[in-house]
Amino acid sequence: MNVQAFNRFRPFLVDALLPIAIFYGLKAINVADLPALLAGGASPAIDALISIAIERRVRLLPVFVCGMFALTAALAFFVHDPRVMLMKEVIIFVGLGIWFLATVPFQPVIYTVAATAAARGSEERAARWNKAWNHPDFRARMRLATALFGIVFLFDAALRTVIVYRLPLSQSVILAHAPAPITLVVTLLIGRFLLVPAAQRAMSEPAS
């Protein structure tokens, strides 16, 4: 595997496979649940710190990864519950779900986030995107897509919580990641059938 291919799969390897492998490896030598989960959860944080050291600049994502590890580790110690270490994605998806739903009555986050991609550095395309907001159908699609994303994120969080707290820990370490493919497929479908047609129509309209 060359460097480019490794970097492509690195998030999956570091954030999913490596923590699982460390957990089961430590459990095989009778390490307790919380230390085993802490050791596994530390691998993405250590990778983030190495990334900061190599690049010699602070980026949001590595800082966020380290912050989430510190938060869940502190909560796990505070409530004496090792399963909290498996709740990082739940916290993220709850935050995203609430954020998306909160913006629906205003300018939805999908509209503002997609503005840069739609403009592609062109002032004319940016003007077309801004003008599209005046069309009721376009606004309705942006709001509906944003609301659906928010609901999907909250459903993902709920499903992960059920998996983590209803299944034995040895199973939930792996199965906590099971909702990810479902969430990915549903969000892609929302994008394909709601966002893409709306964006294409917006970009086909004259800016003035």
Q: What are the tens digits of pLDDT across the range 47-62?
A: 888 877 887 777 787 7
Euclidean distance between CA atoms 201 and 133, whole angstroms: 12
Residue 6 scores a pLDDT above 60:
no
Residue 101 scores a pLDDT above 80:
yes
- Higher per-residue confidence, 5 vs 87: 87
Euclidean distance between CA atoms 110 and 199, whole angstroms: 11
pLDDT of residue 11: 66
Within the chain, residue ranges assigned H as helices are 3-12, 18-28, 33-55, 60-79, 88-103, 109-119, 123-132, 136-166, 169-175, 179-190, 196-204
| Tokens 């779900």 belong to residue | 97
Euclidean distance between CA atoms 148 and 183, whole angstroms: 11
For residues 72 and 84, the answer to whether their CB atoms sit within 8 Å is yes
Q: What is the pTM of this model?
A: 0.89
Mean pLDDT of the region 89-107: 96
Euclidean distance between CA atoms 129 and 193, whole angstroms: 18
**How high is the mean pLDDT of the chain?**
90
pLDDT single digits (tens) 121-174: 889 989 999 999 999 999 999 999 999 999 999 999 999 999 999 999 999 999
Q: Degrees (nearest 5) of the Cα angle 43, 9, 183?
A: 90
pLDDT of residue 5: 54
pLDDT of residue 2: 57
Torsion, CA 8, CA 12, CA 17, CA 18, rounded to 10: 70
